[in-house]
Chain A
Amino acid sequence: MRKLALFAIFVLIFGTMSPSLVNHAYGQNDPSILLRIAIQADKQIVNQLNKNYENEIPNNINNLYEKGHTAVKSLEQSLSDNDVEKAKQDFLLAMNSFMQISRIISQSTEKVVVIMSEKSNRNMSNELDRLEKYVKTLESISKKHNEIEQSKDEFTKSYSLIKEIRKQITASENTSKNITELKSLVNSIKSELRNSIAEKQSNAIKDFFEKFLVQIDQKLLEAKDLGRDEIEINKANELILEIRELLSKNQINSAKTVYSELKIVLKNIGISVKIT
């Protein structure tokens, strides 16, 4: 028994320590990467300076470059001395100096900051790549639940639309109509998928709701005893009845919608919605 206990303790201690050991190993993974990034950045900055200023580099930029370049040299030395901590400091110093230079250059050449969230600034080809990825994600969810037969035509249509839009992009034609059609098709796939999967998960959701509603019933009684807002308590009870009725009719999505309303009412009463 004692041997077993010692073995168990050893395993537990090792088990607790091993994740931190692995993280540590991961964190120390190849510090020479820092040098490669810094050298690459140094070269890019030299290119940018040559392009923008040729031989008339302003003093402030020149000083920053010297600072960054010296830090790169120091980084190289720190790595050959196996001084990882110093290497990290050198890396951050170099990258910070280069960052300042690149920002000064871009501010002086073009003052306009492009807002990437504006649709006009997005690349249509990238937009299509993202939509294709989205369709593939939905398709994989659909496959997992064997719903693929139901939406097979829609997926096929989506892929053919994607193909067509790609051709339009190559030919520099207007893609907006097809993109709108594709987006609406994908939304309809998602909505169908949501409904069909909701039916499949109905038992799990029903079980969860049942436990949840029993506890809420109890908490509402307690709230009533505490003299909380009676109108809100009655409203909550009505919503609970409605959820139970919808669940009995297997209308899971509608039950979820009513639950959202119930949650707000419960919050007003001061009841938390965590089941135990």
Chain B
Amino acid sequence: MISLIEPTQLKNSLGDDGILFVRNDCIFDTMVKTPLLVASMIIVAALLPIQSSFSSPRDLDLIIYSDGTTHVSTEIDIDPFLTDYELNLFGSSIDNLVVVGDNGFLLDADVVDNTALIQTFGSSVITIEYDIHDLVSKQGRLWTFSLDSVSDFTLLLPKNSAIVGMTNLPINMELINEQNQLTLSSGSTEIDYFFSTNTIVNPIENTKNEKDYSLYVIISGIIIVILASIIIIIRNKQKNVKVINEVVTIQKNDVLDLETIFKLKPDLREDDKELVKFIFNNNGEALESELRKKFLQPRTTMWRAVKRLEREGVIEIEKKDLQNLVKLCKTMEENN
């Protein structure tokens, strides 16, 4: 006897071997609502970095002076819903402490032993600078730097210092004004050094041939694809939208003069104008590390300033010997 009620899939998809085939075109939509999936992923992706980033330094830069005192500058993401934040200062002999919150507001901080209680009042990022005398000790002619850091950090060693021992692997080394700057990973680090003549280790020259470029190639490839997409999008937009801004091009020694730049960009911040002046006087280009050294700014602060100027269309950034070369743009658009 034939059954009168038959499953619809059975009618259409029962093969010769009796295997049940089900069309899976709509299974994705049926099982999980697509917008719901995308929204969930966006939320998860957005929350992951926030969860892991609170109270962890974005950036930690240390400069050792020749007398062993160390200047620390760090930028920390903090919970904006807290009224204060307790910071570990790596030691108790602290001088010249400055804490700046969002929008450059100076924040109050009470230092007790090796912690600073900072009144953040809603700030989400704080920048801290101070000098500390506890990180370097000296025995005989040997100087020892010790630090247990929770994040990667950069360490600028004094001029004419020669490393004779270390317990941590350096991630990178740069030469800045004849001083070696090491980038070190988190964890406990001890570095022994002597003062001596002819101690500069040239970290950039003579090392290029031995590099593994594969990752750079992959990253460059991805960047090129993204840039190409952006250019295509911009071009498509330009076809439809009228050009509002007047493009000014003045060819004088290849770069615009300062007066013209400031006229075209009247909203530039005062400190950004100082950067532009320095780059202009330096034949229209300067390394980002030179800018940091000149303006005594931490790496991230300078990076943000440079990025801001790039967004404004005042400068362009090129890579030179693994460093950022900042160049004044030859043409600029006027800000409305």
Contact = CB atoms under 8 A, between A and B. Distances in A.
A92 B141 contact: no
A41 B196 CA distance: 11
B121 A99 contact: no
A36 B201 contact: yes
A114 B199 contact: no
Interface in B148-176: 162-167, 169-173
B139 A116 contact: no
Given A5-B38, A136-B296, 4 more contacts: A30-B203, A31-B210, A44-B199, A117-B93
Contacts of B131: 130, 134
Most buried by B among A30, A136, A253: A30
B100 interface: yes
Interface stretch (A137-145, A150-158, A164-172): A137-145
A226 interface: no
B28 A25 contact: no
B104 A141 contact: yes
B323 to A, nearest CB: 12
B248 interface: no
Interface string A12-25: 10011010011011
Interface of B: 28-29, 34-35, 37-38, 41-42, 45, 48, 65-69, 71, 79, 81-84, 91, 93, 95-96, 98, 100, 103-106, 108, 110, 119, 121-122, 129, 131, 133-134, 136-142, 162-167, 169-173, 183, 185, 190, 192, 194, 196, 199, 201-203, 207, 210-212, 215-216, 218-219, 222, 269-271, 296, 322
Interface residues of A, number: 93
Interface string A108-152: 011111111100011100110111011011101101110000000
A95 B167 contact: yes
A9 B269 CA distance: 39
Interface string A33-50: 110110011001101100
